[in-house]
Amino acid sequence: MNLDDHPTVQWYRQRETTRPDSDRSTRLDPQLLRRLCIEAGADDAGFVETKRFAIADQMTDLMAVFPTNRSLICTVHRLNHENLRTIAHSVTNLEFQQAWKNANQTARTIAFRLQELGIRALNVPVGFPMEIDRWPDRMWLSCDKINAIEAGLGRMGWNRLVLHPRFGANIVLGTILTDVELTSYDTPLEFNPCVECKLCVSVCPVGAVGADGYFDFVSCYTHNYRERLGGFADWVGKIVSSHSLKDYRTRVTDSETVSMWQNLSIGGQTRCDRCMAVCPAGQAQIGGFLEDRKGFAGFVKKMQDKEETVYVVPGSDAEAHVKSRFPHKKVKRVSNGLRPNSAAMFLKSLPIAFQRHQAEGLNATFHFTFTGEEKCKGTVIIRDKIITVQDDLVGAADLHITADSRTWTSFLAKEAGLPWALISRRIRIKGSPKLMKAFARCFPA
Ligand code: SF4
Ligand code: SF4
């Protein structure tokens, strides 16, 4: 076929010769783009150039999915905070479902409108789905929180949520990639909308939001995401390992089984989100907080007083916290389903899994040498309830663990026992076994 004779090719060539030069602009006005985003349904938008240092660690992923990426469009989508401020979590979950759906539809609309202007654009999923085959490693393509902060759309609060100056914590975030450059880009907000009231600290059932600014990701994840990701995997494990229906029912209540049905049929559910609900940051919420402190405190108390099941890993800081701060709540001991599938992943996951209060009084340096299929080395220092992990062997070790990498990951997955691994010398320890125990206490699984 002669391409020149094809109607589509002729249409394209005709359009290119008649298209005004203004349409071919390679640099777009950010005000125009912001207007386009708002008209498409976003509540706010900001822009970041792909060369910015703060987003450098995302670029491998972002360029892989969209190689001509030049600018990030970051969008904000408001949540109805009344739907969050209720102890009926079904109402909150519905609000999230609708917000994610709207945010994805808006992002898609923005991408199409840009394409009508001859600009290529790709909308990254808001929330889920993610690149799930990477589990348990980083599955998301874009770090929407970092992008939003860089785009001047908010700053991180004590609750580790991006707080928008108008809408506060009550938002979901989106990212759209585009091949157009803008005439200027946004920069981070000069002030933090967080008013440091610490209501998020007081309401968190698992103590994940520390009064000193520390955030225990894994405790939040274990409870709030009980029906998702690792929590879901743990539930499947319980089904498979149950000896009988009776045995299953001793491990999983009927309500929890039905809750999994709801999660699968309606969409991903969460169990908490209280740190978002109580947050008074942002112009939309601050009036209620300033004018009616008593009413605000009453609503926070309702959440604290709610009788509910809180999911914790046995021996975790979360378990100790809920038992001492919220004795009326029912503690359910579960696995969070996080299982490192390689030695490198094990070392990488330690700062996230670390339970600092379990490290009380422990000051030691641990060396790890992994052999066999996967060879790598790492140093873990735990001092004053702070953990640092470094590549290779650094400094003098109080305990040196040498392990066959495959045996180690099987041991972490509870598929291989430690006594057998020690006897067969697949795992060798140089130093006090007490230190090994103290180390394990910091990472309950
Ligand atoms: S979602 Fe719940 S568990 Fe997680 S940090 Fe917020 S209050 Fe704590
Ligand atoms: S609840 Fe208070 S301390 Fe926590 S993030 Fe919001 S404003 Fe900041």
Stretch 134-157: mean pLDDT, rounded? Answer: 97
Q: Which fold has domain 20-182?
A: NADH Oxidase (3.40.109)
Kindly report, residue by residue over 113-130, the tens digit of the pLDDT: 999 999 999 999 999 999
If one looks up domain 343-441 in CATH, what number appears? 3.30.1050.10
* Ligand 1 contacts CB of residue 273 (under 6 A): yes
Going by CA atoms, what residue is nearest to atom 8 of ligand 2?
194
**DSSP assigned state of 124:** P
* Ligand 1 contacts CB of residue 220 (under 6 A): yes
Atom of ligand 2 nearest to the CA of 193: 7
Q: Residue 178: name the closest of 125, 115, 116, 100 by CA.
A: 115
What pLDDT score does 21 carry?
63
Name the 3-class secondary structure at 441: helix
Domain segments of the chain as ranges: 20-182, 199-333, 343-441
What pLDDT score does 16 carry?
83
Atom of ligand 1 nearest to the CA of 206: 3
DSSP string, 395-419: S--SEEEEEEHHHHHHHHTTSS-HH
Going by CA atoms, what residue is nearest to atom 7 of ligand 2?
194
Predicted TM-score (pTM) of the model is: 0.93
Q: Which amino acid is residue 338, in one-letter code?
A: L
Going by CA atoms, what residue is nearest to atom 1 of ligand 2?
279
Angle ∠(209,343,377) on CA atoms, nearest 5: 100
Contact (Cβ atoms closer than 8 angstroms) between residue 206 and residue 310: yes
pLDDT at residue 26 greater than cutoff 90: no
State how far the Cα of 347 lies from the Cα of 342, in Å rounded to an integer. Answer: 9
Going by CA atoms, what residue is nearest to atom 7 of ligand 1?
204
Stretch 209-237: mean pLDDT, rounded? Answer: 96
* Ligand 1 contacts CB of residue 218 (under 6 A): no
* Ligand 1 contacts CB of residue 272 (under 6 A): yes
Atom of ligand 2 nearest to the CA of 275: 1
Pocket test for ligand 2, best of 196, 286, 299 (most atoms within 8 A of CB): 196
Stretch 60-85: mean pLDDT, rounded? Answer: 97
Within 10 angstroms of residue 199's Cβ, the number of other Cβ atoms is 25
Ligand 2 binding pocket (C-beta < 6 A) is: 157-159, 194-200, 278-281
* Ligand 1 contacts CB of residue 208 (under 6 A): yes
Kindly report, residue by residue over 95-109, the tens digit of the pLDDT: 999 999 999 999 999
